[in-house]
Amino acid sequence: MRVVVAGATGRIGSRTVARLRDHGVEAVPVSRRHGVDVITGDGLDEALRGAEVLVDVTDAPARTEGAGLQFFHTATTNLLTAAAAAGVEHHMVLSVVGADWLWSDYFRAKPLKEQIVRNSPVPHSIVRATPFFESIEVMVEKNTLYDRVHVAPVLAQPVSTDDLAVAVAHVAVGLPLFGVLKVAGPEVRRLDDLAGEALTARRDSRVVVPDAQARYVDRPLSQPG
Ligand SMILES: NC(=O)c1ccc[n+]([C@@H]2O[C@H](COP(=O)([O-])OP(=O)(O)OC[C@H]3O[C@@H](n4cnc5c(N)ncnc54)[C@H](OP(=O)(O)O)[C@@H]3O)[C@@H](O)[C@H]2O)c1
- Decide: 159 in ligand 1 pocket, CB within 6 A: no
Cα 10 to ligand 1 centre (Å): 5
Cα 29 to ligand 1 centre (Å): 13
Instruction: Say which CATH class 2-131+159-184 falls into.
Output: alpha beta
Q: Whose CA is closest to atom 18 on ligand 1?
A: 10
The pTM of the full predicted model, rounded to 2 decimals, is 0.94
- Predicted pLDDT at 223: 43
Atom number, ligand 1, closest to the C-alpha of residue 6: 34
CA dihedral sign of residues 42, 45, 51, 56: positive
Average pLDDT, consecutive stretches of 10 residues, N- to C-terminus, the chain (225 residues): 98 98 97 98 97 97 85 97 98 92 79 96 97 92 93 94 98 98 97 96 96 76 44
- Judge contact between 57 and 168, C-beta under 8 A: yes
Q: How far apart are CA 198 and CA 202, in angstroms?
A: 7
Phi, psi at residue 97, to the nearest 5°?
A: -60, 130
The secondary structure of 93-153 as a DSSP string is EEEETTTTT--SHHHHHHHHHHHHHHHSSS-EEEEEEPPBHHHHHHHHHHTEETTEEEE--
- Decide: 104 in ligand 1 pocket, CB within 6 A: no
Cα 6 to ligand 1 centre (Å): 9
- Please list the residues that pair with 149 across neighbouring strands: 144, 208
Pick from 4, 14, 55, 57 the residue to mutate for probing ligand 1's pocket: most ligand atoms within 8 Å of its CB: 57
Strand 26-30 relative to strand 53-56, pairing: unpaired
- Judge contact between 141 and 104, C-beta under 8 A: no
Residues 6+ apart with CB under 8 A from 25: 1, 2, 3, 53, 173
- Decide: 158 in ligand 1 pocket, CB within 6 A: no
Domain residue ranges in the chain: 2-131+159-184
Cβ atoms < 10 Å from Cβ of 123: 15
